[in-house]
Chain A
Amino acid sequence: SQQGEEDPQALSIQEGENATMNCSYKTSINNLQWYRQNSGRGLVHLILIRSNEREKHSGRLRVTLDTSKKSSSLLITASRAADTASYFCATDLQANQAGTALIFGKGTTLSVSS
């Protein structure tokens, strides 16, 4: 049961440029989260935005959420080579009465070259 779809699938930029990734989802959510995955590693939680929030910042990260369009964007400003990774959005899906689980999109692969 896939919930989110990231766009673009791949993004290549130069150091110092900004990177924008988008995520669309299908059903109502409580919150939306973004994760980073470096090659061969586990996912790392970046930022969470609640359904009643429209924008959130954390360092060089800016996340927006538009619940009317069921979409979110992640902006990384002044990118660095170390930002090279895959980025996933995730939404909480009420799988059953007992619990929820994060459902991930397919991810955007970001390459930052120096």
Chain B
Amino acid sequence: DTAVSQTPKYLVTQMGNDKSIKCEQNLGHDTMYWYKQDSKKFLKIMFSYNNKELIINETVPNRFSPKSPDKAHLNLHINSLELGDSAVYFCASSQTGTVHGYTFGSGTRLTVV
């Protein structure tokens, strides 16, 4: 009964490759997010989608392309991976107008070699 699930949990790939991370939430929330956490644990918002519509795109290189086929899914595709893309990527969801906070997935640890 995982609320926000991400796959894969670990991803090791070579520079220049293209990879995708998938996220699904079963909470019925209308907003989903992607965050990047670096090696110093700093969390940075990347994207936000509300009802499949891109709301926030925070100065992320255009090699990163989010896709939301429906409001329960938000996938992240990364082209031409670089060493600096190595991080933990978290998906999260929330419901507009409530005060229950965000629900986070368990993260995808991406290592680019």
Which residues of A are interface residues toward B (Cβ below 8 A)? 1-2, 31, 33, 35, 37, 40-45, 48, 50, 86, 88, 95-96, 98-99, 101-104, 106-107, 109
Which residues of B are interface residues toward A (Cβ below 8 A)? 4, 31, 33, 35, 40-43, 45, 48, 50, 53, 55-56, 58, 90, 92, 99-107
Q: In the complex, given contacts A43-B92, A43-B104, A99-B48, what are 20 additional A-B residue pairs having Cβ atoms less than 8 angstroms apart?
A: A35-B101, A41-B106, A41-B107, A42-B104, A42-B105, A43-B43, A45-B101, A45-B102, A95-B48, A95-B56, A95-B58, A96-B56, A98-B50, A98-B53, A99-B31, A101-B58, A103-B45, A104-B43, A106-B40, A106-B42
Query: Which of B43, B56, B90, B104 has the largest count of A CB atoms less than 10 A from its CB?
Result: B43
Q: Is the CB of A102 within 8 A of B42?
A: no
CB-defined contacts of A42 to chain B, threshold 8 Å: 4, 90, 104-107
Classify the interface of chain A: helix, strand, loop or mixed. strand
Q: Is the CB of B101 within 8 A of A48?
A: yes
CB-defined contacts of A50 to chain B, threshold 8 Å: 99
24 residue pairs A–B, Cβ–Cβ below 8 Å: A1-B58, A35-B101, A42-B4, A42-B90, A42-B104, A42-B105, A42-B106, A42-B107, A43-B92, A45-B103, A50-B99, A95-B45, A96-B55, A98-B53, A98-B55, A99-B50, A99-B55, A99-B56, A101-B45, A101-B48, A103-B45, A106-B41, A107-B42, A109-B41
